[in-house]
Structure 1
Amino acid sequence: MTLKIYLASRSPRRGELLRQIGVAFDVLPSDVDESVHPGEAPEHYVLRLAREKAEACAERIAADGLPDLPILAADTTVCADGEILGKPERDEDACAMLRRMSDRWHTVHTGIALAHRGRIEVAISSTQVEVAPLSAAEIAAYVASGEPRDKAGGYGIQGLAGAFIRRIEGSFSGVMGLPVYETAQLLKKSGLNVL
């Protein structure tokens, strides 16, 4: 029997990664305030948001009388010099983020939470990403593609930006938004095996 869960995200990338490991899901997005708390470390931020998204979905399921399935929530952030780089609001923001990451390393944190049978388990994946030197023309062309919109740090490693990612140390799927290994382990820990 195929494992079926709720995915608390509209992200097509997260859905694609779940399908990759054979997990069926219904999308049940959670709308939570994604503001960073004063002094909050990036790792704590993504874990808190993942937990809050799972909790919000659990409340919605109970309120709407939906089938009681496990809920998987995730949050990803890009961090440079200890500062969280969120989703760019304007093209200028995306350009500034890409200039900042050009020719250096940054960290991508993805927190995941699984709500199942009244409990919430969390895990985190942290990956170091090295960006090649980017010219102003390359940054402008990439931003003009529209790809940076709605992506933490202003880039998607699985798209055009893959051409300027020199190397990573960690989880490629974690940088995409859902670390497959950690997700499978979290499901397994809750008695939900993908294999």
Structure 2
Amino acid sequence: MLHLASRSPRRAELLTRLGLQFGILDLAIPEQQDATESAADYVRRVAREKAGAGLLQVVAVPDAVVLGADTEVVLDGVVFGKPADAVEAAAMLRRLSGRSHQVITAVSLLSAAREAQAVVVSEVTVEALSDVDIARYLDTGEWQGKAGGYAIQGCFEAHVLRLDGSYSGVMGLPLQQTAQVLRQFGLLP
């Protein structure tokens, strides 16, 4: 049985699009980048740790498979996590304004016998944002709990000039790559 190790309703919604039945595991994994880790290594590690922690929760379930994922916004090598408050979100949005940045998403699939991982790097270019644009966006509340302080699937999409990569990956679960990994485990035809 497949289990999603994530509290994210977006990841659950995206995984549902693949037509799979799955359970949801509610777990909290500390997300802190090691000073020696690259952004990509950090995202890979966190996705693997989520899947591993989830597998520990369902270890007694025969044929349990756990999917863990992590998504981070990266600008100039700096990982932008989830902002703690509106002030931090505004600071992130000001730094992203008028620039291109990367969104890195890693997907880890883990069972007692095997594991697989996929990493997707997308590039997002944001138009120049005024203080009014930022204040309006913050008022929506969409920034809460979102890496980099924005949700591409919401009204912030109106500020995205260009996306090279995976739209669903920027949302939190790259469907094409996730489907490939699920096929490796025989969970999709």
Shorter-chain TM-score above 0.5: yes
State the SS of the aligned residue for 1:32.
Answer: coil
- Tell me if 1:115 matches 2:110: yes
Any gaps of 5 or more consecutive residues in structure 1? none
Runs of 4+ in 1 over 6 A off after TM superposition: none
- Tell me if 1:9 matches 2:16: no
**Equivalent of residue 137 in structure 2, options 142, 159, 165:** 142
Aligned position for 1:86: 81
Cα drift, residue 55 of structure 1: 0.7
Q: Distance in 2 between matches of 1:50 and 1:118?
A: 18
Any gaps of 5 or more consecutive residues in structure 2? none
TM-score, with structure 2 as normaliser:
0.96
| Residue identity opposite 2:21 in structure 1 | A
Deviations 1:21-45 (A, max 9, x none): 1112111123211111112111101
TM-score, with structure 1 as normaliser:
0.93
Q: Distance in 1 between matches of 2:62 and 2:92?
A: 41
Aligned position for 1:22: 19
| Residue identity opposite 2:75 in structure 1 | A
Deviations 1:20-75 (A, max 9, x none): 1111211112321111111211110111001011111111112xx34542111100
Q: Distance in 2 between matches of 1:46 and 1:27?
A: 21
Aligned position for 1:187: 182
Q: Distance in 1 between matches of 2:88 and 2:97?
A: 14
Q: Distance in 1 between matches of 2:57 and 2:15?
A: 22
Q: Distance in 2 between matches of 1:150 and 1:79?
A: 16
Q: Distance in 1 between matches of 2:99 and 2:77?
A: 14
Contact 1:116 1:190 in 2 (8 A): no
Aligned position for 1:157: 152
The sequence identity of aligned pairs, in percent, is: 45
Aligned position for 2:42: 45
| Residue identity opposite 1:184 in structure 2 | A
Q: Distance in 1 between matches of 2:56 and 2:117?
A: 18
Deviations 1:99-156 (A, max 9, x none): 0001110000001100124222111010000001111001011012111010000000
